[in-house]
Copies of this chain bind each other. A is one copy, B any other.
Amino acid sequence: MTGPTDASQADGTRRRASEVALYGLTPPVEQAILSAVDAGRPNQIRGLIRPLHPADVADLLSRLDTEQRRVVIEAIKARFDPEILPYLDESVREDVFDVMGARDVAAALAELDSDDVVDFVTDLDEDERKLLLEAVPPAERVVLEQGLTFPDSSAGRLMQREVVAVPTHWTVGQTIDFMRTDQELPESFQEIYVVSAGNRLDGVVPLARLLRSKRPVRVADIMSAEMRPVPPTTDQEEVAQMFRRYGLVSTPVVDESGQLLGRITVDDVVDVIDEEAEEDLLKLGGVSESDISSSLLETARSRFVWLLVNLVTAFIAASVIAMFADTIAQVVALAVLAPIVASMGGNAGTQSLTVAVRALAMREIGRTNALRVIVKEVALGIINGAIFGLAVGLVAWAWFGKPMIGVVIGLALILNLMAAGLAGMTIPLILERLGVDPAVASGVFLTTVTDVVGFFTFLGLATWLIL
């Protein structure tokens, strides 16, 4: 058999498929690069990085600190692989931009697909963006600026303009001959779009179907109109939901008049799915963004806001306790037990909240079942509230020797777990209805409810029943 052609085989060794590691950036390779960085050996760095996939180089850069990163970029910048750019994290992009300069970055971007260029430019700050746009050749600048006119996180930003489109009247043979001669086609594609006058999208022919059809067949006869074209203003979350739902590999983007603008491919959608999942997770955890590679002060600032909001909630809860200061002065056991009621409510509420936020993100809650899931959460609160109320009541009685304390904490737990279930499910639903992201604000409202209801019912019942 003839020799394979890819770079990893350049050293002349022959690796069998089953022996290839899943990732190119193995710990030994990473360690070797780190040593070369620390020793300041640019040639060695270059030699170690050359066989790596661009995604692995990007990953390496994100794990280094700013200083090490500069050393690596300096070492590879003369023969910088443009394909590294799309894989870089936002904070790393700035470093690359700083070290390489606008002109070299612009030259590298010229090699990329339009969606990757737009994405890269989006994440730069105002000054850098201006510098870069000036360094880009005029023809590309127009395309780039057009791309930037679409709203952030829209299908227009995700799409690449490089598509293969042929007229309706062409045959399979004409299409194949065109593909064999035209050198300007995109690197990889899975379908041919069929367009009529004015670049209007009429249908799509998957490559597998094209290959399996005889040359004289017209593309119009084998094309499928079962496409799911999206307008460029569609939110990327909608696009991701559509890919996920129908198992798509790519989808065309068309404007209001049905004109083909470009296509969105599944690799970009996988990034969107990751982003959206990350956003939901982080927002529920009270963090605005993944800040592993951000600076200390940036991170401190971004986390500050959420802690401040939590502080307000905590003071509201504290003032509820303060209302019952006299009761606590007489029965100190209440101060010991009150946090248990609040904590159990917070946890039960977070369970409901998490399920609600995920189900909303996956479109699993709609008008059909909203009321049913709310009723279920309240019922769950009653069931688990009764079980834990009984158990904690008995323990509290045994601990402090006063049966009435047991009764009070038991009742408070049932009420707070009911409130937790109700609030945990309805708060995200209401926020979603109001157009607010349910993941970001739900947590504060929820803990406010469970803390206030928890402390108020427990200390209130105690004041009423014990004193």
Contact = CB atoms under 8 A, between A and B. Distances in A.
A282 B357 CA distance: 10
B255 A18 contact: yes
A11 interface: no
Interface string A347-362: 1101101110111001
Nearest to A27: B367
Interface in A208-251: 208, 210-214, 218, 220-221, 223-231, 234, 238, 241-249
A306 B266 CA distance: 37
Contacts of A179: 208, 211-212
Interface string A63-85: 11100000000000000000000
A30 B354 contact: no
B207 A185 contact: no
A411 interface: no
Interface string A45-68: 000000001011001001111000
A16 B34 CA distance: 56
A436 interface: no
B20 A290 contact: no
Interface in A392-432: 392, 395
Contacts of A63: 364, 366, 368-369
Nearest to A271: B244
A294 to B, nearest CB: 9
A29 B339 CA distance: 49
A65 to B, nearest CB: 7
A303 interface: yes
A176 B282 contact: no
Interface in A315-372: 315, 317-319, 321-322, 325, 328-329, 332-340, 342-344, 347-348, 350-351, 353-355, 357-359, 362-369, 372
A247 B55 contact: yes
Given A4-B223, A273-B274, A328-B332, A18 B246 contact: no
A134 interface: no
**Contact-residue size bin, chain A (C-beta under 8 Å from the other chain):** 35 or more
A287 interface: yes
A101 interface: no
A390 to B, nearest CB: 12
Nearest to A60: B368
B64 A16 contact: no
In the complex, the count of this chain's copies comes to: 2
A445 interface: no
A42 interface: no
Given A6-B226, A285-B355, A291-B355, A246 B55 contact: yes
A290 B212 contact: no
A153 to B, nearest CB: 16
A451 B336 CA distance: 12
A56 B242 CA distance: 11
28 contacts: A1-B202, A4-B225, A5-B224, A16-B258, A17-B229, A17-B258, A20-B228, A55-B246, A56-B245, A59-B245, A59-B363, A180-B214, A190-B190, A207-B207, A211-B211, A270-B270, A280-B281, A281-B284, A284-B284, A287-B354, A296-B379, A299-B376, A303-B384, A308-B388, A310-B347, A321-B339, A338-B339, A343-B447
The 6 closest A-B pairs by CB, nearest first: A285-B354, A4-B225, A6-B226, A277-B277, A247-B267, A335-B335
